[in-house]
Structure 1
Amino acid sequence: MKKNTIYLLFLLLSLGGVITSCKDDKVELVEAPVINLSEIGASNSKKVVVGSELHLEGDIIAVGLIAKIEIEIHQEAGNFKILKSYNDGPYIGVRNTLFHEHIDIPSDAPAGAYHLDFTVTDNVGNKTTVESELTLEKAFDITEHFVAGTLSPASGSYNSVYFIRLLEDNKAVFMGSGNDLVGEYELTSDSLLVTISDPNNYRTARFAINEKHELTSAYYRALSMVYKTTGVLLAINEQNQFVGKTFRGEEFKMGPASNKADWYYKFNATGSHYGAAERAAAAEPTNAFENINNSAFKFKNSAGGTELGFVSGDSLTVFRSQGLFYFGTYKLLQ
């Protein structure tokens, strides 16, 4: 009986020691890091241009103190990755911080849809990841565009159409109703200057360009004559913009007076021929034209007449020289 009592007391003391030990060894849980990314790309656009920098900014709170920050940007459909990590510096070992960095985007990164993972690990081993979609946009290349617009003399008697092709090595080709003229261009962050230096055919065209690569103003001078000028910077299309389309509008002749209240331009199913008439049914597409960058055309007939036009949005702008000058802007028929 005495032995049983002693054994029971020993067992109770042992259990008490285990219970006390468990209480003493209890580890306090530390909250995982909290991340609030307020800017992914300029103005939180979630876009960045290839070859530039991605703006990243956000608040980080880590009770367990920041041990590491990792950034991974990977293609949604592909294997290209951009990795960046911070293991030392002002962000490490602190509880609260404002993260602000510019991440280099390599110039060889394929444009398209990407996914961004922003991960913070604390000193305890807790890890938090914030994810976001990200689009890498192709860098602007002026040689993948051309200028199209209209020129009008001070009298306002007509609006002729012109094109400027912008080639490699700053070579420019001016195209109008006459012969093509070769010159050069200079592009800055906010302007495009085109010069034809031939003293017998001197031309200068100057355009203001905004950050969206849109032309916001235009100036044109041929020899000593200054023209009222419009211009739009058009991307060189991969697909023919004339295929199977019909446009309708008012045609003018040598001034503001209407020549044809309704005038139609019809293009065939392959976008290689067009016709023009007062009725759509009569506009047989029999004229084979020179296709310029899939959104502009030039046609010369056997009688010496020339017709030029370009598509911008749902409009076709045309100028025809046939003894007299004819011009107009025509809307796409749906």
Structure 2
Amino acid sequence: MNTKTKLMKSNFKFLALIAFFGILLNSCSSDDDASSPSLNAPEITNFEYGEGSVHSTDQVAFKGSDIHLEAELNAEAVVSSITLSIHAHDLPLADGEVEWDFFQEYSGSNYQVINPTFHEHVDVPTNIPSGEYHIELTVIDELGNSTEIEGHLEILDSIILSGFSVDAAVAKGSDFHAEFMINALNGIHNITVDIHAHGLPVGAGEVEWDSEIIFSEGYHGLTDVEFHEHIDVPATAPAGEYHITFTVEDENGNTKSYETHIDVTAS
């Protein structure tokens, strides 16, 4: 056999070996793929949230209280982290209020497992605007797969005043009528009515009228009640416009006020 023929046979054997190992490696890779299929992203089910004190699912919470949140997480791979975001869009701010943009990552050992149940309570600040908030829950597993679910939450004042009816004018020496509805999540502590004027001239026999009246009997501890009172106006009060502020304080020290005016007439 000549040298050229030997060289050709040698090259052929070398190429055959390369092809054999290539097929073998591809077969092993295929076997690995078949035995280790990719895992699905986590699934979030039964996501519920609402007033925390009663584990409500009505998607409403109150300032100064807390929010109950719960969800079932179906995860084929171990959960790496859970993040919760609560924020609003362009809610008007009243005096003393600030924007609330809540973000929290939960990565404790009770969550870094397969198929955990998410259950948390989040405190709602007292100094944020009431209104509609956007809520997002995101779950990420250890493979980097992620799933997100979202919804909306209505945040209300812990004290809600409505249905005001206050006399617009009253003769001095008489009384005026005032009524409104009170819904106080934490129970009513008391109701204060502040009445005063600014710069009214005080005539002969008259006395400046600046009054603060506190009502508690019949209201203290109640959560849902109608304020209905008749308030006396001294016969000695100067005639003119008076400013009235109704302030409801609950058992947690939260307050809600309503302001109006009344004209006191000579007769």
TM over 0.5: yes
- For 1:47 and 1:125, how far apart are their aligned partners in 2? 33
Within-5 A mapping of 1:189-228: 193=217, 206-207=218-219, 211=223, 213-215=224-226
Within-5 A mapping of 1:287-306: 300=265, 304=267
Residues 161 and 110 of structure 1, relative CA distance in 2, 3 Å threshold? closer
Structure 1: gaps (5+ residues): 150-159, 187-192, 194-205, 223-287, 305-334
Whether the 8 Å contact between 1:164 and 1:172 is mirrored in structure 2 is no
Residues 75 and 218 of structure 1, relative CA distance in 2, 3 Å threshold? closer
- For 2:48 and 2:15, how far apart are their aligned partners in 1? 67
Match of 2:17 in 1: 10
Match of 1:69 in 2: 82
Residues 161 and 219 of structure 1, relative CA distance in 2, 3 Å threshold? closer
Whether the 8 Å contact between 2:87 and 2:101 is mirrored in structure 1 is yes
Residues 209 and 47 of structure 1, relative CA distance in 2, 3 Å threshold? same
Match of 2:67 in 1: 54
Within-5 A mapping of 1:87-236: 87-93=107-113, 95-140=114-159, 162-163=177-178, 171-172=192-193, 182-186=212-216, 193=217, 206-207=218-219, 211=223, 213-215=224-226
Whether the 8 Å contact between 1:37 and 1:56 is mirrored in structure 2 is no
Whether the 8 Å contact between 2:69 and 2:119 is mirrored in structure 1 is yes
Number of matched residues?
A: 199
Deviation digits for residues 269-320 of structure 1 (CA, Å, limit 9, x no counterpart): xxxxxxxxxxxxxxxxxxx9878678785563x6x2xxxxxxxxxxxxxxxx
Residues 130 and 291 of structure 1, relative CA distance in 2, 3 Å threshold? same
- For 2:87 and 2:120, how far apart are their aligned partners in 1? 18
Deviation digits for residues 106-144 of structure 1 (CA, Å, limit 9, x no counterpart): 2233333321111112222221111112222234277x9
The alignment partner of 2:64 has SS state of coil
- For 2:77 and 2:129, how far apart are their aligned partners in 1? 38
Structure 2: gaps (5+ residues): 1-7, 92-98, 168-174, 183-189, 196-208, 233-239, 245-257
The alignment partner of 2:39 has SS state of coil
Residues 136 and 5 of structure 1, relative CA distance in 2, 3 Å threshold? same
- TM-score, reference length from structure 2: 0.57
- For 1:209 and 1:37, how far apart are their aligned partners in 2? 35
Aligned match for 1:36, one of 34, 39, 45: 45
Aligned match for 1:19, one of 26, 44, 53: 26
Counterpart residue identity of residue 30, structure 1: L
- For 2:259 and 2:123, how far apart are their aligned partners in 1? 35
- For 2:64 and 2:229, how far apart are their aligned partners in 1? 32
Counterpart residue identity of residue 46, structure 1: Q
- For 2:221 and 2:177, how far apart are their aligned partners in 1? 18
- For 2:163 and 2:194, how far apart are their aligned partners in 1? 13
Counterpart residue identity of residue 115, structure 2: N
- For 1:171 and 1:219, how far apart are their aligned partners in 2? 12
Counterpart residue identity of residue 12, structure 1: A
- TM-score, reference length from structure 1: 0.47
Residues 97 and 10 of structure 1, relative CA distance in 2, 3 Å threshold? closer
Residues 294 and 51 of structure 1, relative CA distance in 2, 3 Å threshold? closer
Residues 90 and 33 of structure 1, relative CA distance in 2, 3 Å threshold? same
Offset of residue 64 of structure 1: 0.8
- For 2:159 and 2:15, how far apart are their aligned partners in 1? 86
Match of 2:206 in 1: none
Counterpart residue identity of residue 20, structure 2: L
Residues 108 and 180 of structure 1, relative CA distance in 2, 3 Å threshold? closer
- For 2:60 and 2:102, how far apart are their aligned partners in 1? 15
Within-5 A mapping of 1:291-330: 300=265, 304=267
- For 2:212 and 2:9, how far apart are their aligned partners in 1? 118
Offset of residue 13 of structure 1: 1.0
Offset of residue 67 of structure 1: 2.2
Whether the 8 Å contact between 1:207 and 1:219 is mirrored in structure 2 is no
- For 2:76 and 2:10, how far apart are their aligned partners in 1? 54
Greater RCO structure (CA 8 Å; 6+ sep): 2
